[in-house]
Amino acid sequence: MTIQIGTYGWLNPRWNGRFYDSDLPEEWKLSWYANHFRTVVVPSEQVLKLSVDTIDQWVEDTDPDFRFILEIDSKFFVQNRSNELSCKFQMFESHFEGQLDAVICKSTGAKLIKHDECENVQTGLSRAIVCVNTFGCDHVSEKYGRSGSDDQLPEMKSSPFAIVYSSRGQLPLIRENLEYMKRLTRKKCALIFNHQDSAYHHAAQARILADLMGGI
């Protein structure tokens, strides 16, 4: 079982001069990021504007073992016709060339993602898996993965793919998350840090801990 460690996005301007050199061009940041971490969640706002040319550039900027997770929310379903979703994600997955791990269908308080919307996305995917967040979906099939915060780990116990968000950087808490996730599923997990200022630092600490714990 593999736990991939990464962050929510890689273009946070607050990281300039800290994680990224202050003069590093924006188009080089993904390559820099991929030298340190093995996965990233692409935020929904970025996915709304995603094109195959952009995907091709991302694949060129990273190595074949690097993995992407796409996040989509209700805005994505409003802007894309239901009967075209499977074709769109089939095209996306093809251009990712094996580097797309999952697509998160993110429900919010105002809009829960419907089962048939998840199905339309999953139909277009041959390798990647749809994950629904633990906040809710009108129906959760066992074939879907789950995503949620690190205080919702028990709800992900039967999930084939668990994506866990954490904003906590204390080493004992990171270790606790890694140990629980190791027992969570026999398949893949992703631990995604999302603290606006320090996600990259938390992820770096988690990678070191994971190595010390036997290369989780």
**According to the model, what pLDDT value does residue 68 have?**
98
- The confidence band for 215, taking pLDDT boundaries of 50, 70 and 90, is low
How does pLDDT run across 114-143, given as a tens digit for each residue? 888 889 999 999 999 999 986 655 456 678
Residue scoring higher pLDDT (97 or 160): 97
208, two tokens: 């070191």
- Reduce the DSSP state of residue 154 to 3 states and report it: helix
Q: pLDDT: is 154 or 97 the higher one?
A: 97
The pLDDT value given to residue 143 = 82
Is a pLDDT exceeding 80 seen at residue 144? yes
Which residues, 6 or more positions from 115, have their beta carbon under 8 angstroms from its beta carbon? 137, 138, 139, 141
Model confidence pLDDT, tens digit, residues 172-210: 999 999 998 888 766 789 999 999 999 999 999 999 999
Q: Which of 183, 107, 98, 94 is nearest to 148 (CA)?
A: 107
Question: At 66, is the secondary structure helix, strand, or coil?
Answer: coil
So what's the pLDDT on residue 83?
83
Question: How far is 165 from 194, CA to CA, in rounded Å?
Answer: 7
Contact yes or no for 150/166 (Cβ under 8 A): yes
Domains, the chain, ordered by start = 3-212 (3.20.20.410)
